[in-house]
Amino acid sequence: MQHLLAIETSCDETAAAVIDRDRRVLSSVVSTQTALHEHYGGVVPEIASRAHLERILPVIDEAIKQAGLTLQDMSAIAVATHPGLSGSLLIGLTAAKTLCLATGLPLIAVDHILAHIYACQMASGRDVYPCVGFVVSGGHTHLFDCPSPLEHKLLGCTIDDAAGEAFDKVAQILGLGYPGGPLIQKVATQGNTKACAFPRIFIRDERLDFSFSGLKTAVLYEYQGIPGQPPKAGQGDPQRIADVAASFQAAVVDILVAKADAALKKTGYRRLCVGGGVAANGPFREALTQLAARRKVDVIVAPMEYCTDNAAMGAIGWELFEAERFASLDTDITPGLVRR
């Protein structure tokens, strides 16, 4: 059996995994940096790079050890080279290149976004393409036309904040901490989704784009008050926080599901694959299940452990391996989204 070592350092998780050619995950190690960034309410790129540098070799060692293998048992090394934070991506790529140089193994450059969508293929154990791919994370809210694992065409994306970023910023406004998504989801269980009438920006717009910045400002004004006017009462009150959180979360879920539905209609595809950190959100997952039933389409959401950043989804590297699309050792990172 052949084995792939996959490395992922695009944002604030240092991750490595070993996947066999049948796409079975033999190990998946993720070292999260949440504790380092929570004080700042978001990822600090310089801190992320330094932490990757300290952790990358132990994480790779651990992944190979947990798989019960050695570096000599690998057939190739795959690494996320785009998109992501420059400094973070560079650490993973440099580690991968160094190992390739030392062992003579081929290097494979993985698209982190395509990997998030491929996580759905890994989870379902069947061929999910062609599909609408939907990546909803701290850095992306992007809809793609995905005819095959290695092809994608952008259908629409956020014009300002990503959905996960909105969760993180709203959590800060409400004094909940970081990362915001899971904290908002938790307090929202005690809140009323109809307590605040937040805008669903672009929801009826034909374009498949998103905007969450106005929603974030609406939450700010609703909770703290409009600048220049007296501050709102009830700040710090747990029920008020729960109501604002629940109303905000409901607005985000409505927007995400409406646009996913519109993308299915536009492409004519009968399958939607959803990945990225926000796909871990319970009410979003429920709403997607309802969409599947209502529209009689196949909706595959990445399992919880493969929603947030991980290296197991680097299994997409096998698709590149089989297509003989290897990367040269002078391959560089591409921090921005590679548009097609």
CB of 205 to ligand KG4, least distance (A): 23
137 interacts with Zn ion by CB under 5 A? yes
141 interacts with ligand KG4 by CB under 6 A? no
317 interacts with ligand KG4 by CB under 6 A? no
Of 89-97, 165-173, 205-213, 295-303, which part binds ligand KG4 (CB under 6 A)? Answer: 165-173
CB of 73 to ligand KG4, least distance (A): 29
Nearer to ligand KG4, 74 or 80 (CB): 80
Size of the site for Zn ion (CB under 5 A): 2
DSSP state of 311: S
Tally Cβ neighbours within 10 Å of residue 54: 12
CB of 176 to ligand KG4, least distance (A): 11
164 interacts with ligand KG4 by CB under 6 A? yes
What mask of x and - would describe binding to ligand KG4 in positions 7 to 36, judged by CB under 6 A? ----x-------------------------
Alpha carbons 141 and 173: distance in angstroms, whole number: 21
Q: 190 near 237, Cβ under 8 Å?
A: no
- Which of ligand KG4, Zn ion, none binds 145 (CB below 5-8 Å, type-dependent)? none
CB of 213 to Zn ion, least distance (A): 20
Footprint on residues 286-325 left by Zn ion (CB under 5 A)? 309
- Which of ligand KG4, Zn ion, none binds 308 (CB below 5-8 Å, type-dependent)? ligand KG4
- Which of Zn ion, ligand KG4, none binds 222 (CB below 5-8 Å, type-dependent)? none
| Burial track 126-155 (b if 16+ CB lie within 10 A, e otherwise) | eebbbbbbbbbbbbbbbbbbbeebbebeeb
In order of 55, 77, 79, 133, 149, the CA distances from 315 in angstroms are 21, 10, 10, 17, 11
Footprint on residues 118-137 left by ligand KG4 (CB under 6 A)? 137
280 interacts with ligand KG4 by CB under 6 A? yes
SS3 45: helix
218-222 contacts, C-beta under 8 A, 24 or more apart: 219/170, 219/173, 219/174, 219/244, 219/248, 220/173, 222/196, 222/198
Nearer to ligand KG4, 81 or 185 (CB): 185
Nearer to ligand KG4, 33 or 267 (CB): 33
Phi, psi for residue 141 in degrees, rounded to 5? -140, 85
Computed on alpha carbons and rounded to an integer, the radius of gyration of the chain in Å comes to 20
281 interacts with Zn ion by CB under 5 A? no
- CA nearest to 249, candidates 274, 285, 275, 299: 285
Footprint on residues 168-197 left by ligand KG4 (CB under 6 A)? 168, 179-182, 185
Nearer to ligand KG4, 181 or 317 (CB): 181
Alpha carbons 12 and 14: distance in angstroms, whole number: 7
3's enclosing H/E stretch is strand 3-8
- Which of ligand KG4, Zn ion, none binds 318 (CB below 5-8 Å, type-dependent)? none
- CA nearest to 248, candidates 159, 176, 156: 176
Which amino acid would we find at residue 17? A
87 interacts with ligand KG4 by CB under 6 A? no
CB of 185 to ligand KG4, least distance (A): 4
Q: Which of 129, 134, 167, 202 is close enough to bind ligand KG4 by CB under 6 A?
A: 167
Q: 302 near 281, Cβ under 8 Å?
A: no
Which string of DSSP letters, residue by residue, matches 239-287?
HHHHHHHHHHHHHHHHHHHHHHHHHHHHH--SEEEEESGGGG-HHHHHH
Contacting positions for Zn ion (CB under 5 A) = 137, 309
Binding residues vs ligand KG4 (CB under 6 A): 11, 137-139, 164-165, 167-168, 179-182, 185, 276-278, 280-281, 308-309
